[in-house]
A = this chain, B = another copy of it.
Amino acid sequence: MEEALQPLLTVLHEVSDLGRARALLAWDERTKMPPGGAGVRAEQIATLTRLRHVRLGSDELGELLDRAEAGLDSAPRDSFGASVVRVSRREWSKARRVPADLRAEIARVTSLAERAWEDARERADFAAFLPHLERVIELKRRYIECFEVEHPYDALLDDFEPGMRTAELEPVLTRVRDGTVELLSEITSRPQSVDASCLYGDFPVERQVELARQITARLPLQPGTWRIDETVHPFATGIGISDLRITTRFEPGYVGTSLWAVIHEVGHAIYQNGIAAELERTPLCRSASLGFDESQSRLWENWVGRSRPFLAHIHPLLAEFFPERFAGTDREALYRAANRVQPSLIRIEADEVTYNLHIALRFELEVDLFTGRLAPADLPAAWAQRMSDYLGIEVPDDGVGVLQDAHWSAGSFGYFPTYTLGNVIAAQLWDLARAELPDLDEQLADGELEPLAAYLGERIYRLGGKLEPAELIVRVAGGPLDPEPLLRQLRQKFGEIYQLE
């Protein structure tokens, strides 16, 4: 069996190497590249994308898959051989449907659009970004046309949540939205009782950089496998299982951005870092889905990073780095500050309650864009309307509104809902981990994060992309996606903080 797979693996390794090289080009573009490099970089990324795509959808790979499938009858579904063949077949079939030129054009156009977005965001100038956005959307429409789908959004969603349809997603997101709107209205109906002022003040960026490094070093990543760099829009990317790039941005006036954004991105990296070594350089060397990926970024950011015990653990570190803000703040005050619920403009700075409303807004706008109910030019107005409806706040300019996220410039429509899926999954996993690890709180308070990482690693990380997300959640949680644990946990946590009945 292993021997029969070799010719297949040779091609898959090549496809993987091209994809990871492209990831490095993209990481570099966002963190290190001199501005003069933008034009040629877009071409380089387009070329790697096209070559990868051609190889992935090649007749040769199809024949190698035919041959490998013939020898697989008795292999268990989650064996290396069966999984690599099944997942590769899926990717091959998708690649066959999309012309290489379209793939390369999307890569080229989004590479330039990201640069345009950076400028436009800085100047809060939506009009400057609009032509780029329109072009990206037009190309994504052509992409959708390559597939036979019930709903146009299905084709976009499938790139992030293999096998999931919009009709399955929408009720989950709507339930989370409605439950959250209700909880939020209870919280905001009374005066704000949480003081978060310890997180605001003067936090020199170099100190924050060092703090971010020290916190990351305490999280369960293998030493020598990661680095942190500054960027406009934080992300994490893996050039290999042991070569992880965490990025963040630092705000001199608010330490929360770097603190929790870093833990969030490290969460992604922990997942990558835990994938079984034998999956490296294959299509299995990735998370089960973006929703599962975000379940880990959100779990480490919020369920761990904003928990009482973990905050107690890092409190001395914060006090050491910024004594004037934290030496006089007790642990409980830090816990409350870290969990202040306050409708605000920026998604990545949002608290756990309002966060899912930022996602609902984006998901609904995306669906409207691709069903033709909304023109790209009307996005700022539609954005403002929903910000008012769900969060009750005004959008002063597009820089902190519709231009705040990189995703659309990168062509990543269908990505946003995975954040709420991540929260839903994280809550399901947290119930399980709590039951399985009775000393979890004590461990978090002691900074002992390995038991939790090992629990998740065994059940999720090491499997990489072997199973589809719908399959994995049933295997791990014993049932399908369920928004109720999330809503219950949010009500419990914030009910206590805000003394709701």
A residues with CB within 8 A of B: 13-14, 17-18, 20-22, 24-25, 28, 32-37, 39-41, 43-44, 47-48, 51, 222, 224-227, 239-244, 280-281
Q: In the complex, what distance in Å separates the CA atom of A208 from the CA atom of B48?
A: 37
The 8 Å CB contact of A37, one of B37, B44, B240, is B240
Q: Determine if B227 and A40 form an interchain contact, defined as CB atoms under 8 angstroms apart.
A: no
Once A13-B43, A44-B21, A47-B13 are accepted as A-B contacts, the answer to whether A37 and B243 lie under 8 Å apart by CB is: yes
- Could you list 29 examples of A-B contacts with CB < 8 Å? A14-B47, A17-B43, A17-B44, A17-B48, A18-B47, A18-B51, A21-B21, A21-B25, A21-B44, A21-B48, A24-B25, A24-B28, A32-B32, A34-B225, A34-B226, A34-B227, A34-B243, A36-B222, A36-B243, A37-B225, A39-B240, A39-B242, A40-B239, A40-B240, A40-B241, A40-B242, A40-B280, A41-B240, A51-B51
Interchain nearest-CB distance for A124 vs B (Å): 23
Q: In the complex, what distance in Å separates the CA atom of A262 from the CA atom of B355?
A: 48
The 8 Å CB contact of A240, one of B24, B32, B36, is B36
Q: Determine if A36 and B242 form an interchain contact, defined as CB atoms under 8 angstroms apart.
A: yes
Contacts of A281 in B (CB 8 A): 40, 43
Interchain nearest-CB distance for A381 vs B (Å): 36
Q: In the complex, what distance in Å separates the CA atom of A226 from the CA atom of B36?
A: 8
Contacts of A224 in B (CB 8 A): 34-36
Interchain nearest-CB distance for A269 vs B (Å): 11
Q: Determine if B47 and A17 form an interchain contact, defined as CB atoms under 8 angstroms apart.
A: yes
Given contacts A17-B48, A33-B239, A40-B240, 13 further A-B contacts (CB under 8 A): A14-B51, A18-B51, A21-B47, A24-B28, A32-B32, A33-B243, A34-B244, A36-B242, A36-B243, A37-B240, A40-B242, A40-B280, A41-B239
Give the 7 A-B CB pairs with smallest separation, nearest first: A37-B243, A36-B242, A40-B240, A36-B225, A17-B47, A17-B44, A35-B224
Q: For residue A31, which residue of chain B has the nearest CB? A: B32
Contacts of A37 in B (CB 8 A): 225, 239-240, 242-243
Contacts of A14 in B (CB 8 A): 47, 51
Q: In the complex, what distance in Å separates the CA atom of A226 from the CA atom of B37?
A: 9
Q: In the complex, what distance in Å separates the CA atom of A211 from the CA atom of B330?
A: 44
Q: In the complex, what distance in Å separates the CA atom of A75 from the CA atom of B191?
A: 81
Q: For residue A47, which residue of chain B has the nearest CB? A: B17
Contacts of A222 in B (CB 8 A): 36
Contacts of A44 in B (CB 8 A): 17, 20-21, 239
Contacts of A39 in B (CB 8 A): 240, 242
Interchain nearest-CB distance for A326 vs B (Å): 27
Contacts of A47 in B (CB 8 A): 13-14, 17-18, 21
